[in-house]
A = this chain, B = another copy of it.
Amino acid sequence: MSLKAPNFNDIKDAHERIKAFIHKTPVFSSTSLNEILNVDLFFKCENFQKVGAFKFRGATNAVRLLSADEAKKGVTTHSSGNHAAALSLAAEQLGVPAYIVMPENAPEIKKKAVEGYGAKITYCEPTTKAREETSSLVQKETGATFIHPYNNFNVVCGQGTAAMEFLNEVNDLDVIIAPVGGGGLMSGTVISSKAIKPNIKVYGAEPLNADDACRSLKKGLIFPALPPNTIADGLLTSLGSLTFQILHEKLDGIFTVKEETIKKAMRMIWERMKIIVEPSAAVPLAAIIENKDLFKGQKVGLILSGGNVDLDNLPF
């Protein structure tokens, strides 16, 4: 059975819908990185997006598509990461209540961000089971609409607007690489990119220590993320039914990268480009570093997915 997947028109509609509320993030390049890596790199800086991550695009699109009745009842999700903050701010901007289920052990800084955007937090034990059960309870009590962080048509459409802006600004890219966690950004990216430039190559990048997406696409069925051991804390989730279907059909491949290379890539971006990216955002550059010859002399676009790091707990 095939799920209804977004097409590029859906993404263009999403962009019209959200463009007044999001940042049109800049595209950066770095002469020194290009010289070191012998490739022509372009970086779409979603670390500068509101709440510090691309997630705000999808959340805004989903919230703006609620009916009046749904909007009154609010939205809910379970997340300890960027999606929670993104959904909370997107909801707050429209006066929609947001109910976020977070594990008790979520970092203090993330709890504060979500609270700061006016969301109501319900804490649960830090297990998938507890998160899902608590989330179900919250939905029943409030009637709020559940907005999945990635396995959601409207969320995928929103995330696809980043690559759309990217290719509209740099229209002769040979390759685009984005990080893969649950596959929301990757799905939106591959739909936009192949529609705008059919012969472009679109790749994912994920940590070798959390390579479930790579294995899933190879085998043709969704592997759950094993208890992952990676600093790329935004890429711990497994693909969903919708994102798996899109990526299985369209993606040109996934690069898996070592932890050491992720740290090296992150540090290169900080030192050379003077911008702050979170470990997950450095994974595509890590793929370039580990596969230099493959991209030699090409124009390659990388999506820097976010910039939310705990400065008290850096990997270097």
Contacts and interface: CB of A to CB of B under 8 A. Distances in A.
Interface in A283-316: 307, 311-312, 314, 316
Interface residues of A, number: 19
Interface string A31-72: 100000000000000011010100000000000000000000
A185 B23 CA distance: 31
A49 to B, nearest CB: 9
A82 to B, nearest CB: 13
Interface stretch (A190-198, A227-235, A248-256, A270-278): A270-278
Contacts of A267: 311
A270 B276 contact: yes
A274 B274 contact: no
Contact of A26 (B26, B52, B271, B307): B26
Contacts of A47: 274
A262 to B, nearest CB: 15
Most buried by B among A267, A275, A277, A314: A275
Interface of A: 26, 31, 47-48, 50, 52, 267, 270-271, 273-277, 307, 311-312, 314, 316
Most buried by B among A50, A267, A311: A311
A1 B230 CA distance: 65
A234 to B, nearest CB: 15
Given A270-B276, A311-B316, A314-B314, 14 more contacts: A31-B50, A47-B274, A52-B274, A267-B311, A270-B311, A271-B311, A274-B275, A274-B277, A274-B307, A275-B275, A275-B276, A276-B276, A311-B314, A312-B316
Contacts of A31: 50
A270 to B, nearest CB: 6
A52 B31 CA distance: 12
A219 B270 CA distance: 42
21 contacts: A26-B26, A31-B50, A47-B274, A48-B273, A48-B274, A52-B274, A267-B311, A270-B276, A270-B311, A271-B311, A274-B275, A274-B276, A274-B277, A274-B307, A275-B275, A275-B276, A276-B276, A311-B314, A311-B316, A312-B316, A314-B314
A26 B48 CA distance: 13
Contacts of A275: 274-276
